[in-house]
């Protein structure tokens, strides 16, 4: 099973809402990532989790709050977002943290629209 | 510092013709290079990678890429293009000397295969 799943596929939320994005993988990968991708742009790294601990936060605003409840799950909690946060949010995983040879496996993404 | 350049925003090729999507990179250590493809409203799919060894790397769906150290390039190629190859292609690099998992993506090249 080389699949990373993400739910929901689409999400529309108001600026005062609280919502969460979910990501799951069952490949035994110990590194998990959140990326943000705007239209026609490359993915931008937001967070990296290594062995369920946050290892990289790319200066992401606090209205985005990641969580890794266990080695298979990664959440992104959203609160008080701005319209410019509308984007495709991608989750990815790779086998071992600190192994730069490993490719990352991406989920299909959650298309987020903030109104 | 690491960086990747994809000099062409758009590449058009006739079905059955060979295709090339260009990528150049800059890293301070040994480069680990990756190609990903993204279909509309989907996540990124891993195509191939260069870590070490043979300069010609073969990947999924008949794609291959040639690593050229002197030209710091890693161009993606396919001998005979299919209409279904039409998608957005991203080159990415990691600096093998840092041990970090961060992937740096190029800006992407949209490939259109014309029937």
A63 in Cβ contact with A70 (< 8 Å): no
Contacts of A59 (CB under 8 A, 6+ apart): none
- Cβ of B95 within 8 Å of Cβ of A31? The answer is no
- Cβ of A4 within 8 Å of Cβ of B43? The answer is yes
Return the pLDDT at B65.
98
Q: Which whole number is the average pLDDT over B52-61?
A: 93
- Chain B environment of A99 (Cβ under 8 Å): 101
Q: For the beta carbon of residue B52, count every other beta carbon within 10 angstroms.
A: 10
- Chain B environment of A53 (Cβ under 8 Å): none
Q: For the beta carbon of residue B53, count every other beta carbon within 10 angstroms.
A: 8
- Give dist(CA B95, CA B9) in Å, integer: 24
pLDDT in tens, chain A (115 residues): 568 999 999 999 999 999 999 999 999 999 999 999 998 899 999 999 999 999 989 899 999 999 999 999 999 999 999 999 999 999 999 998 877 788 999 999 999 999 9
- Cβ of A100 within 8 Å of Cβ of B45? The answer is no
Return the pLDDT at B99.
57
- Cβ of B99 within 8 Å of Cβ of A101? The answer is no
- Local confidence band at B97 (pLDDT 50, 70, 90 cut-offs): low
Identify which of A35, A58, A112 has the alpha carbon closest to the alpha carbon of residue A81.
Answer: A112
β-bridge partners, A12: A113
B28 touches A: beta carbon within 8 Å: no
In terms of DSSP bridges, do strands A73-79 and A64-70 run parallel, antiparallel, or are they unpaired? antiparallel
Between A48, A103, A107, which is nearest B49 by CB?
A103
In this predicted model, what pLDDT tens digit does every residue of B17-46 receive, in sequence order?
999 999 999 988 888 999 999 998 788 999
Contacts from B7-10 at CB under 8 Å and sequence distance 24+? Answer: B8/B109, B9/B107, B9/B108, B9/B109, B9/B110, B10/B109, B10/B110, B10/B112
User: Residue B58: is its pLDDT beyond 90?
Assistant: yes
- Surface of B (73-92) touching A: CB under 8 A: 90
């Amino acid at each position: 099973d080389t699949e990373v799943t993400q739910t929901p596929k689409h999400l529309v939320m108001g600026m005062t809402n609280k919502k969460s994005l979910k990501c799951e993988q069952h490949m035994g990968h110990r590194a998990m990532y959140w990326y943000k991708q705007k239209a026609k742009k490359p993915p931008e790294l937001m967070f990296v989790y290594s062995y369920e601990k946050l290892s990289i936060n790319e200066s992401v605003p606090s209205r985005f709050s990641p969580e890794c409840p266990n080695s298979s799950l990664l959440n992104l909690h959203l609160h008080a977002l701005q319209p410019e946060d509308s984007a495709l949010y991608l989750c990815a995983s790779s086998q071992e943290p600190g192994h730069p040879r490993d490719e990352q496996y991406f989920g299909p993404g959650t298309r987020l629209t903030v109104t | 510092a690491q960086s990747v350049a994809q000099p062409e925003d758009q590449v058009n090729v006739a079905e059955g013709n060979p295709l090339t999507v260009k990528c150049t990179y800059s890293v301070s250590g040994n480069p680990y290079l990756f190609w990903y493809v993204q279909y509309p409203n989907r996540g990124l799919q891993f195509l191939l990678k260069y870590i070490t060894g043979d300069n010609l790397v073969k990947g999924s769906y008949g794609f291959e890429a040639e690593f050229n150290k002197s030209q710091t390039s890693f161009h993606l190629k396919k001998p005979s293009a299919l209409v279904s190859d039409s998608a957005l292609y991203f080159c990415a690099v990691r600096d093998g000397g840092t041990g970090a998992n961060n992937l740096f993506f190029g800006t992407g090249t949209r490939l259109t295969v014309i029937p």
